Structure 1
Amino acid sequence: MNDEPTSEYKAFAKAMADMQKAFVTVGRTFAAQGAMGWAYRGDVQGLTATLDAMDAELLTELSAAAQLLGSEADQALARKAA
């Protein structure tokens, strides 16, 4: 009896690992969108709760993205005022 995994099993295992990574990415995206929604509505309590539930890596990414968004929005406003 051969205990080596079949190529089909290996392909399935890889597909499941890839799917798990995709779900993590989707979850992080939804968390970031949730934080943006709270901020947009000015709900500091909801925003704080959402941010407190995030890990440091996601908070770092979200902070950088927020700074870029703010900067670009300011530039867009300046172009419209010109």
Structure 2
Amino acid sequence: MSVTPSRVFSGARLKELRKEAGIKGSTISRLTGIPESTISCWVQGHNRPRIDLLILVADVIGCEVTDFLVPNEEVSSGDHA
């Protein structure tokens, strides 16, 4: 039996929260040590972040890790890896 998660990471949601906080991707990169290209890959849906890195990003943006999650059916196939 396979279990499908009810909520998944959304790069679009990360981008939305980052913009709402008025924080550039380059600032997140500088403060967390995560390469800007890596963050861009998350936003574009090429891959998903590890939880430890997502915690760092959430701390910089000022949100909870769960804020990056959306219902599975709301995510397009290109928005999560």
TM-score greater than 0.5 by the shorter chain: no
After TM superposition, the score normalised by the length of structure 1 is: 0.30
| Higher CA-based Rg | 1
Greater relative CO, 1 or 2 (CA 8 Å, sep 6+): 2
Relative to total residues, which structure has the larger strand share, 1 or 2?
2
After TM superposition, the score normalised by the length of structure 2 is: 0.31
